[in-house]
């Protein structure tokens, strides 16, 4: 299996290729589902506040 770094590391970690492929597919499925979920309202509010603060700081620098 080729990792994100582009190296083939199955032999070095002792994981069978079929198992490594199954782990890879399961992780992709898990994170695909997670990225499609909405953020909690409290986190959305925090992000908006940080963006607003950042915009104010940038406009004050100019």
Q: Are 23 and 31 in contact (CB under 8 A)?
A: no
Give the max Cα distance, the chain: 57
Q: What is the DSSP string of 1-62?
A: -B-TTS-B-HHHHT--HHHHHHHHHHHHHHHHHHHTSPPPHHHHHHHHHHHHHHHHHHHHH-
Q: What is the mean pLDDT of residues 6-31?
A: 83
pLDDT per residue as tens digits for the range 32-49: 888 888 889 999 999 999
Higher model confidence: residue 55 or residue 11? 55
Helix (H, G, I), strand (E, B) or coil at 2: strand
Q: Among 33, 7, 38, which Cα is nearest to 20's?
A: 7
């Amino acid at each position: 299996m080729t990792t994100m770094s582009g190296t083939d590391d199955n032999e070095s970690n002792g994981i069978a290729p079929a198992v490594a492929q199954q782990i890879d597919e399961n992780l992709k499925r898990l994170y695909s589902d997670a990225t499609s979920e909405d953020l909690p309202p409290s986190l959305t509010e925090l992000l908006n506040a940080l963006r607003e603060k950042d915009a104010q700081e940038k406009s004050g620098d100019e």
